[in-house]
Structure formats: C-alpha cells, structure tokens
Amino acid sequence: MSRVKKEREKKSFIIKPVWLALLLIAFVCMILLSLGVLALKIGNFLPENTDVIFLVPKDPSFETGDRKGVWETQTRVDIFSSSYVNGENQTTVLSQNGDNLIAPGTRLAYRFCAYNDGNMAMAYELVFSFSLSLGGSPSAAAFPLLIRLSRANGEYLAGNEESFLPLPSKAQWGYEGILGASSYEEFTLEIEWAFEGHDELDTALGIGATKVPVDLQFNVESFAQTHSDPMEKGGMIVAGEKPTEYGGQISWTEYTLLVTLTLVLAAYTIWIA
C-alpha cells in the first residue's frame, strides 16, 4: 500500500466520527420538526378536549385598539371632546381654546376592541383608572366620575342599563376575560360626570378651573398572556377564519434547509468513508 493511501486511510479514521456526529444532530432535529408537522395535522382531527402535546411553536397574539389603530405602550386615544350636546342637540359645553373638556352632566362613549390574531387562547385583563391634577400637580381630590362598560352584544360588564359604576379617584376597576384563537371582542366604555348629587364639589371644581387648570387623565390598560388551555373559547370568531389550527407554524424554509444540509452531510460522510 502506498504511503499516500495509508495517510488517507488514517485521516478517514479520525474525521469520520466527527461527520457521523454532525449527521446525527441534523437528523434528530429533522425528526423533531417532522413530528411537529405531523402532530399539527393530526390535532385538527382530534375530538375537542383531547390533550395534545405540540412540539412545534405556538403563535400567540393579542392587540387592543380602536378605529384609529392599535395601542402601543402609551397611546393617546380620543375619549373626551372639546364640546358636548345634550339630549335636545343643544351645545351645553364648549371649550374656549379647543382643549378637551369634562363638565357636570357630560356623558361620553368610547369604543375599542381586543383582538387575538393568533392560534391559541389568551387570558386578558382591562384596567380602568383616572388621575387628577391641579395646576400641573397631582391631586387626590374627590371627583364624581362614573363608568359603564359593555360588550357589543349589549351585556354590561360594569354598571347596568340603569346605572353607572362610581370610579373613585386613585382607584382602579378591572375586567378579566378570555379571547379564543382568531377572536375579538368589542367594548363600549361610557364615562359620566354625574350632573346631580355633588353641587358643591362640582361648583368648587368649576370655579377652581378659572384659577388653575384642573386636568383629568383617563387610562385604559390591557394586559394579556397565553391561556393555560390553548383551545379555550372566548369572544367572537373573526368572520372567514377556519376553526383553530393551533400548535404553531413550521418555517418551511428552515425545514428544507435542514433536510438539504442533512443530505449533504450524509454524502460527505459516505464520500469520506
């Protein structure tokens, strides 16, 4: 046997196990991904409430927004107005400088939506609060604010058809719900400064506003996280969406690349051998 041939055999003896190890790793990854794809397809045909373990990524999603767009970390929305009319369509509140106003008797409604565009259920919470400031400094003064929250189907979540819920200053009120995959929920938030019942306080606030600005900031916070049961239902299913195909999505590009690399590894190994 020639010297070159002996050296070649020696190299092959050292390098071959390395290639085999790499081939094994790639092969295991490919098997895992294949199982995930298989589980995803099978899961759609299983009866409801069947426990299914998914090996592929899930695709959760949750957004809150209104007709102007999706909320970010801190989004300015249009809850208040610079003028209001009464039941007889007469303007009873009018800003002198275009600022948004609130006054005794003003009642306004704000519509927003929670949307789950993903393929698994989300548990969410809406928290309502407001803060008051006098002349730019935070104030703990009492403020007679009332709220009412309802769904698009007319169900009241806070307050009822005849009354609003008082929301004290520096307090919060929260609502917890569940949104199923590809589902949404529309809410109508109503805010009112009661016209009757607090005349002295109302007058003091109104007169105080002639000396320093009395500002009110209203906040609607939304928090969401994946639900423990990805198949849980909630909200209204987006029209045109198929029933849940949850379990995640495969990146076919990655999958194809991995298969190709595995085949290349196999070819190298065989060639070296």
Partner 1 sequence: MKKNKTMRIASVVMVAALLSTCAISGTFAKYTSASTGSDNARVARWDIKLNDKAISNSFEFNLFETIYDTDAKTVETDVATGLIAPGTSGAFEIKLASASEVSAKYSVDYTVKNTNNIPVQFSVDGTKWTDDLADVTEKELEMTNGTASITVQWKWVFNGNDATDTELGTAEEAPTITVKAVVTVEQVD
For partner 1, the binding residues in 31-90 under the rule CB under 8 A are 32-33, 36, 55-66, 70-80, 86, 90
Q: Look at residues 123, 238, 113, 228 and name the one whose alpha carbon lies nearest to residue 182.
A: 238
CB of 9 to partner 1, least distance (A): 15
Residue 219 binds partner 1 (CB under 8 A): yes
Note the residue count of the chain.
273
- The CA distance from 142 to 168, in Å, is 7
CB closer to partner 1, 8 vs 41: 8
Report the 10 Å Cβ neighbour count for 114. Answer: 22
Sites for partner 1 among residues 197-216 (CB under 8 A): 202-203, 205-210, 213-216
CB of 218 to partner 1, least distance (A): 6
CB closer to partner 1, 45 vs 51: 51
- The CA distance from 28 to 258, in Å, is 11
- The CA distance from 141 to 143, in Å, is 6
CB of 91 to partner 1, least distance (A): 7
Residue 18 binds partner 1 (CB under 8 A): yes
Tokens 């600022």 — which residue? 99
Residue 121 binds partner 1 (CB under 8 A): no
Tokens 């009412």 — which residue? 148
Residue 229 binds partner 1 (CB under 8 A): no
Residue 178 binds partner 1 (CB under 8 A): no
CB closer to partner 1, 48 vs 211: 211
Contacts 24+ apart (CB under 8 A), 135-140: 135/212, 135/213, 136/212, 136/213, 136/215, 140/169, 140/170
CB closer to partner 1, 66 vs 150: 66
Q: Which range touches partner 1 (CB under 8 A), out of 37-45, 155-163, 179-187, 224-232?
A: 224-232
